[in-house]
Amino acid sequence: MKLFLYIESLRFRQLFRILVEIGLIRALFVLGFTGYLLFAIIEFFNFAFYADLISFGFASSVISIHLQRKDKAFVRKVSSMAFFVFLTEYLLLGLPVYFCSILYDSAFHALLLLIVSLAISLVNTTISFRQITFFKTLPFIPSSNIEWKSGFRRKAVYIALCLAGGLWLSHINPAPAVAIIIITFIVCSFYTENEPEIMLQNYGYDTYMVLLKKIFQAVFMLIILISPLIIKFLYLYPNEADIFAFAIAVCIFTLAFSIIFKYAVYEPATIVERNVLINGFVLICFLIPYVAPLPIIMLIYYTGKASRNLKKYLHAYN
């Protein structure tokens, strides 16, 4: 208990240091402003109506904080009660939601957030996903699809959150469409790392066939991944299927473009982060009238470029 209190006192000292750095007046202003904004948002959006959205936002934040925080190893090392340390902190963070749940008589959301806090506090304290064979081997991804194997290990939690959010909030009309767009954007980021030449050569020596194989694999996996969202949307909004089909088509196009662009600028064993920006640009183009044809022109241009670039690495040189 003494150790637990000591760790929490460390947190307050850390917080105090941050506030001192900001400056006392500014800190008070920031804290007051944040608190006011939080309650204003809850009031404005009518907690009872948007309870799902707000609770999901909080739950996602808690999961994200736990997975990103760098002090897990330290807390585990110094305390045998690491689980309780994390749980207490997440309960404190979720206080506004618990408070609103009581206020608006919505015990379900409070219970849900409590379960999420409990479950996430167990991760890397008593449970490690990396030790579970299923997560270790990712058997649902074909072994030839290294981008997905690697990407899934890095971004699985965010994809799971988007899927869960899209399904849970599907009664708010655009939620499933927004979820598939975000998932597509995450999946496109799998294609920022360039494999070594020797790995690429295993896909064959015909440049267009290599590109086609890669695109087919990725699109197939994306459709499987978002299929729960497609089914739920079609079930809830059968009259808006055409709009949803357009959103899916845009996502497939963006994914295909990200693969083409990767190989248009491919250099073995490098990481090209700018691919993410280009993918974002392509997605945005589809939302702006008159600019939509631009990604199609870009796709045609970069397909030729990708083929020419891959020839350097796959074809006879001399």
User: Which residues contact another protein by CB under 8 A?
Assistant: 136-137, 143-144, 146, 149-151, 153-154, 193, 195-199, 201-205, 268-269, 312-318
Nearest distance in Å: CB 315, another protein: 7
Tell me the three state secondary structure of residue 300: helix
Q: Bridge-partner residues for 104, per DSSP? A: none
Nearest to another protein of 141, 283 (CB atom): 141
Q: Are 7 and 79 in contact (CB under 8 A)?
A: yes
Cα four-point dihedral sign 276, 211, 265, 146: positive
Sequence-distant contacts of 107-116: CB under 8 A, at least 24 apart: 109/51, 109/52, 109/54, 109/55, 112/55, 112/59, 113/55, 113/58, 113/59, 113/62, 116/59, 116/62, 116/63
Sequence-distant contacts of 255-259: CB under 8 A, at least 24 apart: 255/184, 255/187, 255/188, 255/215, 255/218, 255/219, 255/222, 256/215, 256/218, 256/219, 256/299, 257/282, 257/295, 257/298, 257/299, 257/302, 258/188, 258/191, 258/282, 259/191, 259/211, 259/214, 259/215, 259/218
Nearest distance in Å: CB 196, another protein: 5
Nearest distance in Å: CB 199, another protein: 5
Nearest distance in Å: CB 148, another protein: 10
Nearest to another protein of 141, 180 (CB atom): 141
Nearest to another protein of 78, 146 (CB atom): 146
Nearest distance in Å: CB 156, another protein: 11
Nearest distance in Å: CB 105, another protein: 45
Nearest to another protein of 9, 137 (CB atom): 137
Residue 272 has a CB neighbour count (10 Å cut-off) of 16
Nearest to another protein of 139, 293 (CB atom): 139
Nearest to another protein of 12, 317 (CB atom): 317
Nearest to another protein of 68, 202 (CB atom): 202
Nearest distance in Å: CB 207, another protein: 12
3-state secondary structure 92-141: HHCHHHHHHHHHCCCHHHHHHHHHHHHHHHHECCCECHHHCHHHHHCCCC
- Please state, in angstroms and rounded to a whole number, the distance separating the CA atoms of residues 25 and 40: 22
How many residues can be counted in the chain?
318
Nearest to another protein of 32, 204 (CB atom): 204
Nearest distance in Å: CB 214, another protein: 12
Nearest distance in Å: CB 276, another protein: 16
Nearest to another protein of 11, 311 (CB atom): 311
Q: How far is CA 50 from CA 59, 61, 104, 169, in A?
A: 14, 17, 11, 10
